[in-house]
Every structure is written in C-alpha cells, then in structure tokens.
Amino acid sequence: MSKEDDNDEKLYHESMQNAYILITKKLSFNDLFEYNGCSLPFPPKKKVSNKVFDNLIDYFCTLEEYEKCAELKKIKESKKKITII
C-alpha cells in the first residue's frame, strides 16, 4: 500500500468516525471542527440520507463495531430528519 493510499484510508476512517459522532450527537459540529477539522463523507448542510446511514452501518459492521451499527440503525429507523449544521 502506498503512502497516499494509507493517507486516503485514514481520512476515510476519520470521516466515518466524525459522521457517527455528529449523527449520534456525541459532539456538536463546532466542537468536532475545533478538535480535528471535521472531514465528513457527506455535505453537512444537507439532510443525512438513508444511503449515508447504510454506508456508515456497513462500514462499522466491517470493523465489527456492532454497537455503533445498532445506534445508527435506530436513528435511521426513527425517521427523524437529521442535519448536522
């Protein structure tokens, strides 16, 4: 794996973790932005789509982080309109 691929993988992982933190309201966008710049796998001003939820759930399943998957699934199924900003 090249250094560029490794950096891309780290950025992707960070963006998925950030999305989880924001969707589950563990931190606000501003707090997370101050902490790490807040890269995200979706535009933060738009409603979080079902596709984003599915991608996050799949990602955390591959990491065997099933508690995160369950929490995201519960939020997705609640049909609440989730926006970050």
Mean pLDDT of 4-33: 91
pLDDT for 33 equals 87
pLDDT for 45 equals 87
The position carrying tokens 């369950």 is: 70
pLDDT for 1 equals 64
- The Cα–Cα gap between 44 and 82 comes to 10
Which positions ≥6 away from 42 have C-beta within 8 Å? 19, 48, 49, 52
**Helix pair 50-62, 3-23: axis angle to 10 deg:** 120
- The Cα–Cα gap between 1 and 12 comes to 15
Q: 33-58: per-residue pLDDT in tens? A: 888 778 899 988 889 999 999 999 99
Mean pLDDT of 8-22: 94
